[in-house]
């Protein structure tokens, strides 16, 4: 009669079995697997990954067109927030169908204020990097965490509704010397003469003011101003043949309300983001807003985009 296995042996065998069962799924669990860091699989380069994801993203665009045909049948006839039993909202047409080829992680506080970032491990390896943040509102955990992780980074923050960064930066000598703040507003045109209040700057003008040619991480949360501001930014760089959008990734809260919820307008604006090389890899609804203002439509959503063009840290095959 063979010996009976001990309890410890059983526990070890069960643990091994669970690990083996879960391994095939680890790559899909919220982007946290090491699969996303640099291991693209045998013979699969970063360039191949990006090309494959572009093919998948093209399928998502086709599915969007089919959904518009179903509920429109044209984009000017789609109700962004239907109330007659239709099973969709505007956000269902614009899904984050592109997978970032690096680890995706949430940076900053849980709840309102934190953002999802792609490939931070690559960004922080650079000797220097540039962070722009529009919309501070007294909470700077996102920017503070980035600066702590990346000693070579500096951050430029803008918000005309407050006078400084939040306490996460102003109260921390480790990072505050690398964080620069001005009470400016981001807009689609420049209106920053002495008599202008608030003073509006375009993104390109601020980059010129600061002597920057590239932004590694761009965060925008400006209560609907993102539409005009990004339209101007995209138009400037689309006008020059061969120009590449000078941004590595974009963390953006979109406010589809007060005229910007018009589906035809929104779809054209979103298509301009795509045409510039921006691909959404993450989204989450702003449920804090829904909870605070009960009974409202789901008008706010957080999106994160990777720029698939250029030669920056997230898409450079030779980056080490």
Q: How far apart are CA 195 and CA 245, in angstroms?
A: 32
Q: Helices 263-275 & 226-239, crossing angle to 10 degrees?
A: 40
Q: How far apart are CA 202 and CA 7, in angstroms?
A: 67
Tokens of 175: 């990072």
Q: How far apart are CA 189 and CA 202, in angstroms?
A: 6
What is the biggest distance separating any 2 CA atoms in the chain, rounded to whole angstroms? 95
Provide the pLDDT for residue 41.
57
Residues 43-78 as b or e (16 or more Cβ within 10 Å = b): eeebeebbeebeeebeebeeebeeebeebeeebeeb
Provide the pLDDT for residue 319.
82
Tokens of 72: 């429109």
Q: How far apart are CA 280 and CA 254, in angstroms?
A: 12
| Per-block mean pLDDT, blocks of 10 residues, the chain (320 long) | 46 41 40 40 80 97 98 96 94 97 95 93 95 94 96 96 95 96 97 90 98 98 96 88 90 94 96 97 93 90 97 90
How is the chain split among helix, strand and coil, in percent rounded to 5? Answer: 35, 20, 45
Q: Which CATH architecture has domain 41-307?
A: 3-Layer(aba) Sandwich (3.40)
Q: Where are the beta strands (DSSP E) in the chain?
A: 104-107, 115-118, 129-134, 153-158, 179-182, 185-186, 200-201, 215-220, 247-255, 278-285, 300-307
Which region holds residue 298: left if phi is over 0, alpha if psi is between -120 and 50, else beta?
Answer: beta
């Amino acid at each position: 009669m063979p010996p009976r296995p001990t309890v410890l042996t059983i526990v070890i065998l069960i643990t091994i079995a669970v690990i083996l069962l879960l391994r095939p799924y680890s790559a899909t669990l919220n982007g946290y697997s090491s699969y996303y860091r640099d291991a693209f699989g045998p013979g699969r380069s970063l360039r191949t990954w990006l090309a494959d994801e572009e093919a998948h993203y093209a399928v998502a665009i086709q599915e969007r067109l089919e959904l518009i045909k179903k509920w429109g049948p044209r984009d000017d006839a789609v109700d962004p927030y239907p109330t007659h039993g239709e099973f969709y909202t505007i956000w269902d047409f614009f899904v984050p169908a592109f997978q970032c080829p690096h680890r995706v992680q949430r940076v900053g506080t849980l709840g309102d204020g934190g953002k999802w970032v792609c490939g931070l491990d690559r960004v922080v390896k650079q000797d220097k990097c540039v962070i722009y943040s529009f919309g501070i509102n007294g909470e700077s955990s996102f920017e503070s965490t980035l600066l702590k992780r990346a000693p070579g980074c500096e951050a430029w923050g803008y918000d005309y509704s407050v006078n400084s960064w939040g306490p996460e930066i102003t109260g921390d000598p480790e990072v505050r010397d690398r964080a620069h703040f001005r009470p400016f507003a981001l807009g689609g045109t420049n209106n920053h003469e002495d008599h202008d209040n608030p003073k509006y700057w375009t993104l390109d003008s601020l980059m010129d003011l600061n002597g920057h040619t590239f932004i590694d991480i761009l965060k925008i949360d400006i209560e609907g101003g993102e539409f005009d501001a990004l339209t101007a930014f995209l138009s400037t760089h689309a006008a020059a043949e061969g120009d590449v959008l000078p941004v590595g990734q974009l963390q953006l809260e979109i406010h589809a309300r007060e005229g910007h919820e018009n589906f035809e307008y929104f779809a054209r604006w979103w298509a301009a983001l795509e045409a510039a090389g921006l691909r959404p890899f993450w989204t989450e609804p702003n449920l804090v807003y829904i909870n605070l203002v009960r009974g409202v439509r789901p008008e706010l959503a957080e999106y994160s985009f990777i720029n698939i063009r250029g030669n920056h840290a997230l898409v450079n095959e030779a980056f080490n």
